[in-house]
Every structure is written in C-alpha cells, then in structure tokens.
Amino acid sequence: DAKTTQPPSMDCAEGRAANLPCNHSTISGNEYVYWYRQIHSQGPQYIIHGLKNNETNEMASLIITEDRKSSTLILPHATLRDTAVYYCIVRVAVSSGSARQLTFGSGTQLTVLP
Amino acid sequence: DAGITQSPRHKVTETGTPVTLRCHQTENHRYMYWYRQDPGHGLRLIHYSYGVKDTDKGEVSDGYSVSRSKTEDFLLTLESATSSQTSVYFCAITGDSSYGYTFGSGTRLTVV
C-alpha cells in the first residue's frame, strides 16, 4: 500500500471549514484513498473514500487532485465534536485483496477551537 | 458501533496470567481484525481472520493467539500477559461488499 504523509496537527475555528491535506505521491492506479477519524478513547470511524473523482457524503467531502498524488478532506462546518485524529489511508479497494488489512499512520490531530 | 461489541471494556490482570478478549459481531462479516493502540505507535495489527478457522498474523503478533470457531466471534488470547501488553485493544470487521471497516469501542487492558 502507498505511504501517506499528513501534518501532525491542525487547528480550526468552530463553524469554519476544516481542510485536512494528505500526500500520497506513490499511489497506484488501483488504490483508493480512505479517511478515518478517531475521537479520543473511541474506535476509529470510517468517513469517506474515493478513487479519482471528488466525493461527498453527509460527513465530509474528499477532493483528489487530478494526478492523484494528494487529497484533501473537507469538513464544511467544523464543530467541537469534530476534534479527533484523522487518518488518511491509501490501499486497494477494501472489497478486494486477501486480507484487506488497514495500515494506520500517525494521522493529523485536528483541534476545533471555540 | 452497533453490530460489533468487545468484552470486557476494561480489565486489570497480573503478569503471567492468561487473558482472553472477545469480539462479537452481528453483521455476518467475513473479515475480523485485532489491533492494539499505544501512545507513539498508533494502531497496529495483531491478528486477523478471513473466515471461520482462517486466521493469520499481523505486524505485532508475538505473545498473542486468536481463534475463530464461529463467524460472529473472534477471540484474542494473551497466553501469559506481560506489562508490555498493557494497551487499548480494538476489534474491527468488514465484509465482502463493504467499503469501510467498523471498529468496536475498545478494551483497555492493564497488566500489573
């Protein structure tokens, strides 16, 4: 699976958009970008994933650059409850592969400030 | 999350004693995983299962064993607990048509 690079920490004002970047310059053509988050003391939570098109769901939007070497997770109106560690993971589709393991890096600690 | 539960939620045990953690799912998912999380190390895969009686090792499997005799249950056993196994343990599940993983709420294990 491709390696990802994320900033260790970011702050965001409550009500503003939080934009979390992820670099994945070695991504292969069949690898997806997945985002998870982990709120303190809880299990990680799936947010969104994408291959090459931008994606949006009720939680967030995912913007993937045309060359697919980087992406940005956007929380449109951050709340205090969005304070968490956000993980960007690149791997082949979860629906394929013999073991479907997820490898977590260090992630980005997002702190939403009141 | 609904559909996956871990037990116990907290446990304190003594060095050298055996400990078994349980992960139970009601989603009928094929794949189940055990991770541990420690400060400075993030989430690390211990063992995983891709079906009943089908298991394999992750990156930090030493000192741990697993069993999966039923689709719904995945057990993690520490044969002889050591202080280095003090950690938070998370179970995760995913299915053939799933895009994401669902994680349990975790088990906080302290070995004294």
Give the pLDDT score at B97: 67
Is the separation of the CB atoms in B88 and B35 below 8 Å?
A: no
The confidence score (pLDDT) of residue B100 equals: 81
Torsions phi, psi for A28 (to 5 deg):
-95, 165
* Sequential DSSP letters for chain A: ----B--SEEEEETTS-EEEEEE-TT--TTEEEEEEEE-TTS--EEEEEESSS-EE-SS-EEEE-TTSSEEEEEETT--GGG-EEEEEEEEE-TTSSSS--------EEEEEE-
CA closest to A48 among chain B residues:
B100
> Min CA distance, A83 vs chain B (Å)?
17
Contacts of A103 in chain B (CB under 8 A): 45
pLDDT digits (tens, 9 = 90+) for A17-55: 999 999 999 998 888 899 999 998 899 999 999 999 899
pLDDT of residue A89: 92
Higher pLDDT, residue B93 or B1: B93
DSSP state of B83: G
Residue A94 has pLDDT above 80, yes or no: no
Does A96 contact B at CB distance below 8 Å?
no
Query: Is B92 in Cβ contact with A102 (below 8 Å)?
Result: yes
- The predicted-structure confidence for A55-81, as pLDDT tens digits, reads as follows 999 999 999 999 999 999 999 999 999
* CA distance, residue B22 to nearest chain A CA (Å): 15
For residue A41, the chain B residues in CB contact (below 8 A) are 88, 106
pLDDT digits (tens, 9 = 90+) for B17-73: 999 999 999 999 989 999 999 987 788 999 999 889 999 999 899 999 999 999 999
Residues whose CB is less than 8 angstroms from the CB of residue B23 and which lie 6 or more positions away in sequence, other chains included: B4, B5, B6, B32, B34, B73, B74, B75, B76, B91, B93, B104
Tell me which chain B residue has its CA closest to the CA of residue A86. Answer: B42
